[in-house]
Amino acid sequence: MDAPAVLSPEELHASRTATLGWARSGEAGGATAERGAAAEALASVRAEGLEPSTYVQELLSFFDAGEISADEMIERVRLHHSR
């Protein structure tokens, strides 16, 4: 079995931003589909051999439940990692 892929923080951010950008673009079919994009983003990260932190998984749950927006989630992650 190959070792898990390791992406730089910039590569990981670009990948997640692209997924959320797709969801926001309307191609995904609106707010309900945007929330469904959280599961797709999580699957994408795992397919790359990575596992999001507990903190990010919690934020994805809030996002998927419609409690926070994609922009709010991204901002919280950015602030969390800038400390």
**Tens-digit pLDDT profile for residues 17-48:** 766 665 565 554 555 556 577 778 788 888 88
- The reported pLDDT for the residue numbered 76 is 92
In a domain, 82, yes or no: yes
Query: Range of 35's domain?
Result: 30-83
20 found inside a domain: no
Query: Is 33 or 52 the better-scoring residue by pLDDT?
Result: 52
Of 6 and 41, the one with more pLDDT:
41
Q: How many domains does the chain have?
A: 1
Report yes or no on 5 lying in a domain.
no
Whole-angstrom Cα distance, residue 65 to residue 59? 10
Mean pLDDT, residues 45-65:
87
> What pLDDT score was predicted for residue 57?
86
Residue 45 lies in a domain: yes
Structure confidence at residue 73 as a pLDDT band (50, 70, 90):
confident
Distance CA 45, CA 29 (A): 22
Query: Contact, 71 vs 53, CB < 8 A?
Result: no
